Amino acid sequence: MVTALTAILDGPVRMLEGFGRYVLLLGRAFNLPRDLRPRLYLRHLVDQMVHIGVASVPIVALATAFSGGVAAVQALYQLQDPLYPLTLVGTFTQQAVMLELGTLVTAFVLTGRVGARIAAELGTMRVTEQIDALEAMGINSRSYLIVPRVVASVLMFPVLYVLASAVGMLAGAFVADSSQRLTASIYWSGARLFFREYDLVFGIVKSLVFGFIITSVACYKGYYARGGAEGVGQATTESTVVACVFILLADYVCAALFL
């Protein structure tokens, strides 16, 4: 009986323990040392912004172009009845892209491209004693490794979201125009019809949250990786899975709170 209860409770206890370690790690990382050299951190931050933001532009653009195109195709499919005005194709696509696809597709792409890379990078640094080497030099390894990555992600994700939304909308316009059922100008007038600035703000808030989740989870998993190449692989996989779950959860919470 006790054994069975222990087995049942083992999972939730481990999850709570993991969450506690995650919060403690971030707390210690963001408790910046007084002897911090801003120039060094700034350089590191700019490097990370390039890695996380600029280098992700092509894949984010590609993914959201297809998502925007699919949203337009589905709108066209659902609006076959002549009673519905075709301006709604633009409206539906705009709403889908700005409220959901722009953030969610970008988040999943970045989880694979950025989160996995960070988890593997820090995991390798852990198992090859590079993190120990930082600590042995008297450097706060948590602050040095985690803060620039998380801050860069939080700064760059909204930029990528705006870009993703623009590309998604453009792809929708191209699909609508190619369908021969409506022109691009009708599509754009529909897109403007129900556009609210609040939608953009909502998307930006979500992208800030997703950016934080992706990099902080990856940093946590990578920082505490153990056991050689296998451990690094496990940390990378866990980082991707956990980030995806938290993104979906945060997506729901944001929608429930702000819409």
Query: Residue numbers of the site for other proteins (CB under 8 A)?
Result: 28, 33-34, 37, 40, 124-125, 128-130, 132-133, 135-140, 144
Identify whether the C-beta of residue 206 lies closer than 8 Å to the C-beta of residue 103.
yes
Q: Least distance to other proteins from the beta carbon of 131, Å?
A: 9
Pick 134 or 250: Cβ nearer other proteins = 134
The rounded Cα 164 to chain-centroid distance in angstroms is: 12
Q: Which residue has the tokens 């990786």?
A: 225
Q: CA 248 to CA 213: how far, in whole Å?
A: 11
Pick 102 or 222: Cβ nearer other proteins = 222
Pick 11 or 138: Cβ nearer other proteins = 138
Q: Least distance to other proteins from the beta carbon of 14, Å?
A: 15
Identify whether the C-beta of residue 243 lies closer than 8 Å to the C-beta of residue 22.
no
Pick 10 or 181: Cβ nearer other proteins = 10
Q: Least distance to other proteins from the beta carbon of 56, Å?
A: 19
Q: Least distance to other proteins from the beta carbon of 201, Å?
A: 37
Pick 139 or 184: Cβ nearer other proteins = 139
The number of residues making up the chain comes to: 259
Pick 132 or 258: Cβ nearer other proteins = 132
The one-letter code for the residue type at 88 is L
Pick 92 or 223: Cβ nearer other proteins = 223
Q: Exposed/middle/buried for 98, CB within 10 Å: 0-12, 13-18, 19+?
A: buried
The rounded Cα 178 to chain-centroid distance in angstroms is: 31
Q: Least distance to other proteins from the beta carbon of 138, Å?
A: 4
Q: Least distance to other proteins from the beta carbon of 221, Å?
A: 19
Q: CA 65 to CA 169: how far, in whole Å?
A: 8
Phi, psi (rounded to 5 degrees) for 180:
70, 5
Q: CA 228 to CA 189: how far, in whole Å?
A: 56
Q: Least distance to other proteins from the beta carbon of 202, Å?
A: 37
Q: CA 119 to CA 107: how far, in whole Å?
A: 16
